[in-house]
Structure 1
Amino acid sequence: MSEHIIWEGEVVALYIAAAADEPMQQVDEADLVAGCGIVGDRYYAKNGTHSGSDEESYEVTFIESEAFESVEAENKLSIAYADMRRNIVTRGFSLNHLVNREFRIGDTLFRGIALREPCPHLMERTNHKVVVGFIHRAGLGARIIAGGTIRVGDTIHD
């Protein structure tokens, strides 16, 4: 039986940070562990800003590249992907539709947990226009159901 793909997108960038206040580092590939996060990232090491929080726990964050382009155009700003402190930058589909849904990147299986809004930590690191521009489009927090390795250019699908 063939797999029926309803939608698909692409990974355009990957980022990790060793600790909450460390700069995000771009990587070409990342190893993900179910129930833990991305190897080398602050949440995998349990030293991220939201580590230990009981609120809708997640192990990895996503954000759409289209959100960056929109916020840049609306506010005449230049925003680096790393500024939003999300792990996986995507293109080609709406993350908002993935809350409570499973999706794949390669062999890695994720479950969307909750939409992420800009937080006070982001406000400290950027400017007000950036934070306001990303309200309701700051990404998705997800759990890793089955781990694997993902790479820039990998296809994302349901």
Structure 2
Amino acid sequence: MWKGRLLSIHTTGASREPIRELDRATLIAGVGIEGDRYAKGIDTGTYSKIPDVREVTLIEVETLEALARDHDITLTPQEHRRNLTVRGVPLNHLVGVRFRVGEVVLEGGRLNTPCRYLDMITRKSVCDLMVHRSGLNCRIVEGGTIRPGDTVQPA
């Protein structure tokens, strides 16, 4: 059995706005992260019109470490545009699976697909390098407050 850790939380109010790092966040079941662009229910995100479970997005810090180690590319948690950065969490295996982040229960939706938008805004060529490592879109099953340092584990 695996057990991981939440390292950081990031949100943004609208597409192309800077990412904010939070010391805690309120996740609302069926909605998203309070204050995040996708939780607002208006067309403020690049993918807002595409039907999908995207209440919260996660990425593995191991992906960022591999970019640095294998390709000499630094992509920080403020740059990757996902909400939660985790360590020790097998995101590719959590599609359709429920798991906990602190007191919150999430259900894996679909794996994220890297896009050229990330290359454009970071001015780094990471899109092709992140195929199958670009994170996981999730549905919030049980809401609550999360903080960096929270345990991530099977529900």
- Do they fold alike, i.e. is TM over 0.5? yes
Which residue in the other structure is 1:15 paired with? 10
- Give structure 1 regions of 4+ aligned residues with deviation exceeding 4 angstroms: none
- Greater shift, 117-126 or 86-95, is seen at 117-126
TM-score (norm 1): 0.91
**2:103 aligned to 99, 104, 107, which one?**
107
Unaligned runs of 5+ in 1: 1-5
User: Is the 2:119–2:125 contact (alpha carbons within 8 Å) kept by the matching residues of 1?
Assistant: no
Q: Give the SS at the match of 1:104.
A: strand
User: Is the 1:75–1:129 contact (alpha carbons within 8 Å) kept by the matching residues of 2?
Assistant: no
Residue 43, structure 1, aligned to residue 38, structure 2: yes
Unaligned runs of 5+ in 2: none
User: Is the 1:33–1:148 contact (alpha carbons within 8 Å) kept by the matching residues of 2?
Assistant: yes
Map 1:8-157 onto structure 2 (within 5 A).
Answer: 8-46=3-41, 47-54=44-51, 56-127=52-123, 129-157=125-153
Identity rate, percent: 39
Q: Give the SS at the match of 2:78.
A: helix
> How far 1:81 sits from its partner (Å)?
1.1
Rounded to whole Å, the distance in 2 between the matches of 1:133 and 1:127 is 14
TM-score (norm 2): 0.93
Rounded to whole Å, the distance in 1 between the matches of 2:116 and 2:88 is 28
Q: Considering only aligned residues, what root-mean-square deviation do their CA atoms show, in Å?
A: 1.2
1:14-41 CA-to-partner distances (Å, cap 9, x unmatched) read: 1000101101111111000001100011
